[in-house]
Amino acid sequence: MPDSNLRRLGSSELLVHPLCLGGNTFGWTTDRDESFAVLDKYAEAGGNFIDTADSYSSWIDGHRGGESETIIGEWLAKGPRRDGLIVATKVGSGAEDVPPGLGRKQVIDGCEASLRRLGVERIDLYFAHRDDPSTPLEETLAAFDQLVRAGKVAHIAASNYTAARLCEALSVSAEHGFATFTALQPRLNLVDRDGFDDGLRAICAEHDLGVAVYSALASGFLTGKYRPGEPVPASARAGGVRSRYLGDPHAVSLLEAATRVAARRNATVAQVALAWVIASPGVTSAIASATSPEQLSDLLGAVDLDLDETDLAELTG
């Protein structure tokens, strides 16, 4: 059964779950069988929105990118899971034999490779992974438009674009009659709030863009597993979390606030952090990854956690 909490993604016809399942761990910290178990649990719980990228997980020795897409494609091939499922992927960061950038050849070749790995005929939501200032926006958007007209992509979107570049891209599409971005993927969490600032929020509202935010748990910092003065958990991300957040008094104070709210609401810290993102003005969905079905069950609990004014005031920081 589809989840009754589904939200429309901007002006598109796509109805997406408020918790988008991040696929960045698939083939990295989550092996094939574990990934399948997480995907099964997500689908059984009514989830329908999966986010990945052609570059996942190219940062690992011996990987070339596409590992996450391949696992998702193998899972999709196991059974009749496609109906109602929305798979988003990205191009531009480089993977396999597709170099980084958003030139026409990179976009077209990247799409063909992603379609092959996912085992689908059309990508539901195709993101420009990051802005490419070295390539004219006209070239990038013409390539995306070609894919939409060919039926290989349903909708296009932008990730990691500044307000100025997003506005410019929307103008280029309007001027040339190209397919236009229907969604934005910025960074947003309790600690990192500049990635989806008032400028971007206003543009998304004006142009009716859906917003699916990444790093909603700050690489695991906002799960409550990390505490100042305590050993960091065994995790591939532990070093980055320690250097980025544990030494930041403001980040630690927000973690403490989330811990207090969690205790008061009989929730987990991760649920509070995700509920805050999901409730943020303009946000359609929060992307979070899980390495086990049990962890995913905890994250899904955020969807039904309604933070009140007292909670939100305490989390404002």
pLDDT tens digit string along 216-261?
Answer: 999 889 998 877 766 666 666 666 777 788 888 999 999 999 999 9
* CB-based contacts of 167-171 (< 8 A; 24+ apart in sequence): 167/203, 168/137, 169/137, 169/140, 169/141, 170/203, 170/207
Cis check: omega of the bond before 57, within 30 degrees of 0: yes
Whole-number Å distance between alpha carbons of 109 and 107: 6
**In this predicted model, what pLDDT tens digit does every residue of 85-131 receive, in sequence order?**
999 999 999 998 899 999 999 999 999 999 999 999 999 999 999 99
Residue type, 21: L
- DSSP H or E segment with residue 45: none
Share of the chain above pLDDT 90, in %: 83
pLDDT of 1 strictly over 50? no
- Among 161, 170, 159, residue whose Cα is nearest residue 199: 161
Higher pLDDT, 317 or 58: 58
Mean pLDDT score, 295-300: 97
Residue type, 12: S
- Choose the catalytic residue: 42, 56, 226, 245: 56
**In this predicted model, what pLDDT tens digit does every residue of 142-188 receive, in sequence order?**
999 999 999 999 999 999 999 999 999 999 999 999 999 999 999 99
Split at pLDDT 50, 70, 90, the class of 61 is confident
Q: Which residues contact 252 (CB under 8 A, 6 or more apart)?
A: 228, 245, 246
* pLDDT at site 291: 94
Mean pLDDT score, 291-311: 97
CB 164 within 8 A of CB 157: no
Phi then psi for 12, rounded to 5 degrees?
Answer: -75, 175
Give the domain 7-220+270-307 fold. Answer: TIM Barrel (3.20.20)
Is residue 226 annotated as a catalytic residue, yes or no?
Answer: no
Instruction: Give the single-character DSSP code of 231.
Output: P
